Structure 1
């Protein structure tokens, strides 16, 4: 607990203590004043002074002290109380010629103090000193004055020790409460982290299952497509070799079947991309062409980009080394996000170029853009701005991890209503890998 916070709570204790003792403490002055009034009954001038002192002190101790405490603190309030009691003790003692019943107010005032500031002992010393001097100057018996002054000192020391002990116990209780609250917060944080890990495990299991399902579907499609491809090729070849081909069939040979084979080739390419993309086995570093992987990503994400205009500018960046399947995952995620953020008729543009020993990839859209708050949390796991059930918040976190694992970095520029641009910078060869350009334009492991 912060020292000032603990002190503020400790300072609240005198107020609670004062209110708790107020009713009990008020019985003392009532009994003492009743005894004085009885003793001096008939001496009306003395009774008038005592009544005035009693009324003033009752107002000060019951009303004024609490009012001052609320506005200036208990140190100032205790000073006001002690000064009022000092004046009341001197006036009452002088009026009664320092009768023992008037002396009783001196130690009684010191039994009820509550302010534990650094001036408490100085206030008490001044109070007793002024009372002692005033009493001796106005005819008090020295032995009686000494007895009640010593009683006042003892009463003060006992009360000081009692309040100090109570404050120490209160401080310990407050520290224990703070430790319990801290432990509770840590427990809640651990519980939330455990829930996140559980949710992440569920999402990974679901994504793994989807990947296996996609790979299975692609495999099942691949088998019949192989027969279709073979049969259409055979048909086209046979028709071309037929010297007596009817005129009506020449259109099939020249246009229909070649176009059909182009469509079949596209289906086979998409199926191959899907099988490679959905494979769950670990991928080793290998030489690849990023522009070819961009084409693959565009084919996979085609369904999410059908409502927008797609532009590509591939700079012929050549070969580099990495995990191409992972990089296709990065590009697909960025393209799908761009398509989802862009309204119908908008633009999604992807470009590549080579900068010295690195490759630069930009995925830009004319979509809704992002606020500064969203950008600050963009790559955190499970952070998503999509409605519940439509996003896991893992996509960009995975993107960030893949790019970092390749020794690259990712930047984002975005403004609300002005679209977004993700920029990837990837080294030609990830750090610590020994590769060099090969004679065929690709990359090969460096020997030695």
Structure 2
């Protein structure tokens, strides 16, 4: 038990723990005084003195002690009670020539003095000493004086022991209550942690389902692209054959000449575009591990723009390709990076806004910037931007994995990614990629491409 919990116990009176004790404590003096009044009936001077003592002690014990307790504490109040009862015992004993009924007040008063503060024994010693001196000095019989003093002492000691036992029980109860409160708090905290863990588990389960769905969609996209590729090969071959055959015909009508000159070449361009998109989709959706290879970043940018064309149809798209040449990496992963950044830019930008992608090259690195004129981000969002599963999109519209994956791919290439954003003004992602990822045996060649290092 701490000091704050123990202090009220040390200063408390038994009456606080046993409210019925006050009733019994007040009934005792009434009975004793009634007996004295009956015994000394007709001796009016004695009765007058006893009545005065009764009134004063009643006022002190019922009203004054409680007032002093509220003002100054239980210790001071008990001292006031002692002084009042001391005066009452001496006056009553002297008036009755220390009749046994008057002596009864002495041990009875000691029962009321048995508090639990540290001055209780000192007050008791003072009380008994003054009563003994006053009694013997006013002619009390020594044997009677000794008998009631001994009765008072041992009555006090027994009462004190009972109070001590009561205090021990009370301290134990308070300690158990404190432990129960701590246990309840710990249980409530554990319940809160379990609830939070359960919610997090549900979120992880939902994200796992989302990831599984995305994986399934990727496999489905690859399958669909494969299925489209086969018939498109026949269409391409047949249209090419038709165009060649018509061009070999010497006498074509004006309508057929229009087909040869305009319609079929335009159809072949459309077919070529479909084949290119299908090829991009197949390459992007493949889930097998990708080896490092030589690639041209500007070509991968074009691939990413074709994939996200539908996502950017509501905005203006500007591209500034700096002819960065060839470098080494995992081009399919880099297309994934560009697709994620372009899709995010399109989603953050209102109709009529601008999405821009730029590339450039320096002596050691290639640089890509994807910027938009969209809503921008707060500082709090930027701090958590690359954390897995963090998203500001509404539920069901994002998994919070896109930028985490982007960050991981860029880091795996030995590169660096930065973000600049201001709310209401837009966002710019800046990527720096080494020409060759660390530890790979490639170097730039004189023709702008890449070649294996010698030695």
Structure label with greater radius of gyration: 2
Give the structure 1 partner of residue 272 of structure 2: 265
8 Å contact from structure 1 (residues 349, 365) kept in 2: yes
Closer, same or farther: CA 132–192 of 1 in aligned 2, 3 Å: same
Deviation of residue 130 (structure 1)? 4.0
Give the structure 2 partner of residue 297 of structure 1: 304
Partner residue of 1:351 out of 358, 361, 366: 358
Structure 2 SS opposite 1:287? strand
Deviation of residue 266 (structure 1)? 1.4
CA root-mean-square deviation: 3.3
Partner residue of 2:293 out of 272, 283, 286: 286
TM-score, with normalisation over the residues of structure 2? 0.79
Closer, same or farther: CA 435–85 of 1 in aligned 2, 3 Å: farther
Give the structure 2 partner of residue 386 of structure 1: 393
Give the structure 2 partner of residue 332 of structure 1: 339
Give the structure 2 partner of residue 56 of structure 1: 63
8 Å contact from structure 2 (residues 229, 275) kept in 1: yes
1:10-409 aligned at under 5 Å gives the runs 11=5, 25-41=18-34, 42=47, 43-56=50-63, 59-60=66-67, 80-97=73-90, 99-107=106-114, 109-110=115-116, 124-133=117-126, 135-137=128-130, 139=133, 143-144=149-150, 146-147=153-154, 150-151=157-158, 154-155=161-162, 157-244=164-251, 249-409=256-416
Deviation of residue 149 (structure 1)? 5.8
Structure 1 SS opposite 2:314? coil
8 Å contact from structure 2 (residues 15, 21) kept in 1: no
Give the structure 2 partner of residue 121 of structure 1: none
Closer, same or farther: CA 424–33 of 1 in aligned 2, 3 Å: same
Of stretches 264-273 and 394-403 in structure 1, the one that deviates more from structure 2 is 394-403
Structure 2 SS opposite 1:104? helix
8 Å contact from structure 2 (residues 107, 153) kept in 1: no
Distance 1:229 1:89 in 2: 118
Distance 1:280 1:383 in 2: 24
Give the structure 1 partner of residue 433 of structure 2: 426
Distance 1:160 1:320 in 2: 85
Q: Deviations over 1:311-361 (max 9, x none)?
A: 111222222222221221121122112112211111011112234423322
Distance 1:298 1:418 in 2: 23
8 Å contact from structure 1 (residues 94, 135) kept in 2: no
Deviation of residue 178 (structure 1)? 4.2
TM-score, with normalisation over the residues of structure 1? 0.80
Of stretches 214-223 and 375-384 in structure 1, the one that deviates more from structure 2 is 375-384
Q: Deviations over 1:64-119 (max 9, x none)?
A: 75xx8xxxxxxxxxx71232123223322331236211111111x32xxxxxxxxx
Distance 2:21 2:222 in 1: 92
Closer, same or farther: CA 358–87 of 1 in aligned 2, 3 Å: farther
Gaps of 5+ in 1: 1-5, 69-78, 111-123
Closer, same or farther: CA 388–262 of 1 in aligned 2, 3 Å: same
Of stretches 232-241 and 343-352 in structure 1, the one that deviates more from structure 2 is 232-241
Structure 1 SS opposite 2:119? helix
Give the structure 1 partner of residue 42 of structure 2: none
Distance 2:420 2:328 in 1: 27
Structure 1 SS opposite 2:424? coil
Distance 2:406 2:268 in 1: 36
Distance 2:289 2:15 in 1: 78
Closer, same or farther: CA 165–12 of 1 in aligned 2, 3 Å: closer
Q: Deviations over 1:36-88 (max 9, x none)?
A: 12212451111111211222267459xx75xx8xxxxxxxxxx7123212322
Closer, same or farther: CA 37–365 of 1 in aligned 2, 3 Å: same
Structure 2 SS opposite 1:359? strand
Gaps of 5+ in 2: 35-46, 91-104, 135-144
Give the structure 1 partner of residue 422 of structure 2: 415
